[in-house]
Amino acid sequence: MAKHLTSNDIKTVVTLIDTWEGKLTWDALCEATASLIGTRPTRQTLNSHSLVKNAFGHKKTQIKSGFTSSKRPPSLSIAEQRISRLENENYRLKTENAELLLRFIKWQYNAYKHGIPKEKLDAALPIIDRDSSEEH
């Protein structure tokens, strides 16, 4: 049975994708991931997680656009890698944020359509008393 990926595994894979250099394929990603998380995940396992799928797609787009790093002394090379990783992460997070905003707009419209007033949507969450032995 295939191992389920934890949230830490997913973060590790996304970071690997953000720092990837060279040709990126699902098979190469599965191989590189194996040493980081302990087992070799399948393409389907990685593709089933939206964060991994989005990061993979963004990196493929960046690679196709022709971005190549130039030769630098080691200290500048490390800085260039860090900047590249941060730019990739920034782009990915902006895209995820835009998707969440679209989802919020859909929810907002559907709440309006079904007559749920703003006051109900803005109501505070209930306080959970974890020390109580009473069942509610």
Residue 119 counted as domain residue: no
Residue 96 lies in a domain: yes
pLDDT tens digits in sequence order for the chain, 136 residues long: 456 889 899 999 999 998 888 899 999 999 999 999 988 999 999 999 989 999 999 899 888 887 665 656 678 888 888 899 999 999 999 999 999 999 999 999 999 999 999 889 889 989 888 876 665 5
Residue 90 per-residue DSSP state: H
Indicate whether 134 belongs to any domain.
Answer: no
Domain limits for position 61: 7-114
- The verdict on residue 2 lying in a domain is no
Stated pTM of the model: 0.57
Q: Please state the φ and ψ torsions of residue 49, each to the nearest 5 degrees.
A: -100, 120
Q: Is 13 left (phi over 0), alpha (psi -120 to 50) or beta?
A: alpha
Domain for residue 129, yes or no?
no
- Domains held by the chain: number: 1
| Tokens, residue 94 | 């902006």
Do 88 and 18 form a contact (C-beta atoms < 8 A)?
yes
**Does residue 131 lie in a domain region?**
no
